[in-house]
Amino acid sequence: MPSARSIDSLVLRRAGLGTAVTGVIVVIVAGWVAGGSAALGAALGTVLVIAFFSIGQFALGTVLRNNPQMALTMALTLYLIKIGALMVILVLLADTTAFNTKAFAIAILVCTLTWTALEVWIFSTTKVLYVDPNAGQTTNSHESGT
């Protein structure tokens, strides 16, 4: 059975690589359809998604190894932080002319959906023990009733 650490690295490798490949495809399509500024916007959106999700996965994995009872609290907190940071970035870059903001937004959407789908696939196909099967066993035969 894989450990929490190996699950974290598995998610970071597979979802990160899958998202990067998707991002490259989005950059190529955006560059072909709308030119260089669209390719730049799509590349920035891809990097932003990979950075956000990688940092979030690393932070969540660290908390889960040290304090598994905080899993849901930490996951929701990370989600709120990511959404808030993304909102701030989108507001700050709303009127930029340095790159195509539509390609930026499309890349964020497509890469987020890719990462999420891959993460769901990884967790649904990987067997993880959520309960230690040996935790209830005792070594004293008097306590077990024999």
Q: What is the mean pLDDT of residues 62-82?
A: 85
Q: What is the mean pLDDT of residues 56-60?
A: 85
Q: What is the pTM of this model?
A: 0.77
Q: What is the mean pLDDT of residues 72-99?
A: 88
**DSSP result, 13-70:** HHHHHHHHHHHHHHHHHHHHHH-HHHHHHHHHHHHHHHHHHHHHHHHHHHHHHH-GGG
Instruction: Give me the torsion for CA of 119, 123, 124, 127, rounded to 10°.
Output: 160
State the Cα–Cα distance between residues 1 and 21, nearest whole angstrom.
29
Q: What is the mean pLDDT of residues 45-65?
A: 88
* Residue 128 confidence (pLDDT) above 60: yes
Helix (H, G, I), strand (E, B) or coil at 116: helix
Query: Which residue has tokens 């195509």?
Result: 100
Quote the tokens at residue 82: 């990511």
More confident residue, 94 or 2: 94
Lowest mean pLDDT segment, chosen from 27-31, 90-94, 128-132? 128-132
Closest CA to 93 of 50, 40, 34: 40
